[in-house]
Amino acid sequence: MVDVSTLGREAGRIADAVRHWSPARWRSSTVDESVDRAQLMSDAIQRVADAAADAEGQPRRPVPAPDSPVGLTDQWRVVMADLLAADPGAKPLHDAHEQVARLRSGLW
């Protein structure tokens, strides 16, 4: 089972690794070429935002697409911080950790 501090560190490492990416790099395909990197990150952001909303007892809301894929890094940091601050419990932490693993395997 993953804990809050471990998940926070792992999510931060992803954000640090991609924060300098250009829009062109975000638009390139994932490792398995199923989607582009921006879509993979957007999907992960939405799933973590949904988990945070569930943990807070709030309705789920769509996360708006940033003007540029460069903004995805900030969105990732915000939704992950929201989730970790919500004292989410084991299942949401596990689900968020799966998103971290998907990003790690798909982005590189």
Residue 93's domain comprises: 4-107
Per-residue pLDDT at 2: 87
Q: Which of 100, 102, 105 is nearest to 14 (CA)?
A: 100
Per-residue pLDDT at 71: 97
Per-residue pLDDT at 1: 77
Q: Give the tokens for residue 14.
A: 């992803």
Q: Do residues 44 and 102 lie in contact, with contact meaning Cβ atoms separated by under 8 Å?
A: yes
Per-residue pLDDT at 87: 86
Mean pLDDT by 10 residues, the chain (108 residues): 92 97 96 94 98 95 96 97 93 94 94
Per-residue pLDDT at 79: 97
Rounded CA Rg of the chain: 13
Q: Give the tokens for residue 52.
A: 């945070």
Q: Please tell me the total count of domains within the chain.
A: 1
Q: Give the tokens for residue 34.
A: 């199923």
